Structure 1
Amino acid sequence: MPNGSLEKFIYEKENPLKEERQLDCKTLYDIAVGVAHGLEYLHKGCNTRILHFDIKPHNILIDDDFCPKISDFGLAKICPRKESIVSVFGARGTPGYIAQELFSRNFGGVSHKSDVYSYGMMVLEMVGRRKNIKVEVDCSSELYFPHYKRLELNQDLGLRCIKNEIDEEMVRKMTVVSLWCIQTDPLHRPAMHKVLEMLEGSVQMLEIPPKPFLSSPSTSSIHLLSEIL
């Protein structure tokens, strides 16, 4: 794709041109909606359901018109649409985006909701313009959200990408929807068609989700999230 992959536009440390490659809130929002449409098609639009298992900014390619394309299906798994739970041996995906049930079945079965979790983590990175994961952190018992209280109190999110009230509304929707997507229990995460309804609907209709908590896996090879935004 002419514009490469999404991470070049959202990670400031990896963006040598910074201002020239800085995407505005509307473009980020449109990319988030576009990826949601792509995942909904993989989960519901095909005759056979396709689970991607590696949704992250590096695997979202951007064309000339800044339309996103989901790429890299090396970890994908095909399953009959009638089956909601799939059999997967071992964690698959990229640390920082892997849903809890992929490293411990105590959190629930592996399903299309695992892609929903990865999507939520990716969109939070798009909003915060920083990586969710710190490689020097081996484990964490809780996900920490500096802006969570501001959402609960309906306060200004105070993010640099927000220039006006329209930007504030789009970013607030992306943030609230993402927090629903990364709920610990897969049953509490919305399906992708519901994600689209929330993103494309009114921000006033969105409820603030419970704050997610995460128990870390036993292996130190999987680095967990220490902070978001």
Structure 2
Amino acid sequence: MQQLGGPSRYAYTDIIAITGHFRDRLGQGGYGSVYKGILFPGNIHVAIKMLINSKCNGEEFISEVSTIGRIHHVNVVRLIGFCSEETRRALVYEYMPNGSLDRYIFSSEKSFSWDMLNMIALGIARGINYLHQGCDMQILHFDIKPHNILLDRNFVPKVADFGLAKLYPRDNSFVPLSAMRGTVGYIAPEMVSRSFGVISSKSDVYSFGMLLLEMAGGRRNADPNVTNSSQNYYPSWVYDRLIEQQVGEISVINMHELEKKLCIIGLWCIQMKSHDRPTMSEVIEMLQSDINVLEMPSRPFFCDGQEQVSALDSYYLSSQLDDIEEDDE
């Protein structure tokens, strides 16, 4: 695998040395912990993810690592190496000095310009599209969210967290229900109920749409702390504002053109039925197009009036903040 340019294999003793006995922890999640490390020679900074509860055996793990290790795209975090020694599993990634996207879009102190946000959105879309279309195997991420988008020193976005990603033949549009994973608030409806369609690459499109709306709104889509209760669920609120502007009603908000563009594309991506959503390649075209050529999508199911809030709505809205504490550790 290494002769073919794949990731390097490290012994567990190497991992201990690289991390300085796990001295500098960058974060923690359900998969395990991430530590900062330095590769010698060259003083190359890396991020090492120590996996816990890895369900696949050693051969399966190495097979997945070899596939993911061949990914080379400017908008995907590069896998440098791995460790598979008895029950110990680790992934060695390039280090991203500017951290994750959520540190910036949810903080007024670290806000980006609209041009920068549009550029970041386009980069993320290209990265996800590459995973879907650019590899021998289709890689479905299933956990696209701001926390899993990392930024390099020039704020180029890179899709991260492949510790739990799933690999499928590109011509196989059907994904088993056992593949379900993700974070509440970004999970596509079909991941909860098959009545909304089959699990596929369109499930990542839905998650990207939720991420895009949060980038545009500068806030979490479901925020119980918003003082105006009608604005608690941002996708619903912004959809109504855009419709008001479309029919010429006086709106209380003055939206930047790029803000409006990101919102319209995001609303297309979160359509409830998977076949109504664009592909990631179509999303890229939309992000590169002029806002005047974009049509408003149908009202997403979650944007219906309060009297029609469904059980699935309640599931999303009441559980939105479940993973936030874990992400922010």
Q: Which residue of 2 is the match for residue 118 of structure 1?
A: 207
Q: Which residue of 1 is the match for residue 140 of structure 2?
A: 51
Q: Is the 8 Å Cα contact of residues 222 and 234 (structure 2) preserved in structure 1?
A: no
1:14-47 deviation per Cα after TM superposition (whole angstroms, max 9, x unaligned): xxxx43x121111111110000000110011111
Q: 1:224 to 1:179 in 2, by over 3 A?
A: farther
Please list, as runs of the form range in 1=range in 2, the aligned pairs for 1:22-41 lying within 5 A after superposition.
22-41=111-130
Task: Flag the structure with higher strand content.
Answer: 2
How many angstroms does 1:224 deviate by?
Answer: 5.0
How many angstroms does 1:147 deviate by?
Answer: 2.2
Report SS of the residue matched to 1:114. helix
Q: Is the 8 Å Cα contact of residues 133 and 225 (structure 1) preserved in structure 2?
A: yes
Please list, as runs of the form range in 1=range in 2, the aligned pairs for 1:1-229 lying within 5 A after superposition.
1-12=96-107, 18-19=108-109, 21-89=110-178, 91-134=180-223, 145-152=236-243, 153-154=245-246, 158=253, 168-214=256-302, 215-217=310-312, 223=318
Counterpart-to-counterpart distance in 2, 1:210 and 1:225:
23
Q: Which residue of 2 is the match for residue 139 of structure 1?
A: none
How many angstroms does 1:91 deviate by?
Answer: 3.7
Residue-pair matches, total? 208
Report SS of the residue matched to 1:69. strand
In the alignment, residue 238 of structure 2 is paired with which amino acid?
H
Q: Is the 8 Å Cα contact of residues 133 and 224 (structure 1) preserved in structure 2?
A: no
How many angstroms does 1:80 deviate by?
Answer: 0.4
Report SS of the residue matched to 1:64. coil
Greater relative contact order structure (CA < 8 Å, 6+ sep) = 1
Percentage of identical aligned residues: 46
How many angstroms does 1:150 deviate by?
Answer: 2.9
How many angstroms does 1:66 deviate by?
Answer: 0.9
Larger radius of gyration: 2
1:82-102 deviation per Cα after TM superposition (whole angstroms, max 9, x unaligned): 111211327410000000000
Which TM-score applies when normalising by structure 1? 0.82
In the alignment, residue 101 of structure 2 is paired with which amino acid?
L
In the alignment, residue 178 of structure 1 is paired with which amino acid?
G
Counterpart-to-counterpart distance in 2, 1:112 and 1:64:
29
How many angstroms does 1:6 deviate by?
Answer: 0.3
* CA root-mean-square deviation: 2.6
Q: Is the 8 Å Cα contact of residues 135 and 223 (structure 1) preserved in structure 2?
A: no
Counterpart-to-counterpart distance in 1, 2:99 and 2:279:
28
Q: 1:135 to 1:148 in 2, by over 3 A?
A: closer
How many angstroms does 1:222 deviate by?
Answer: 8.4
Q: Is the 8 Å Cα contact of residues 134 and 223 (structure 1) preserved in structure 2?
A: no
Q: Is the 8 Å Cα contact of residues 104 and 217 (structure 1) preserved in structure 2?
A: no
Q: Where does the alignment leave 5 or more consecutive residues of structure 1 unmatched?
A: 13-17, 137-141, 163-167
1:23-74 deviation per Cα after TM superposition (whole angstroms, max 9, x unaligned): 1111111110000000110011111100000000000001111100111112
Q: Is the 8 Å Cα contact of residues 62 and 69 (structure 1) preserved in structure 2?
A: yes
Counterpart-to-counterpart distance in 1, 2:241 and 2:218:
18
In the alignment, residue 289 of structure 2 is paired with which amino acid?
G
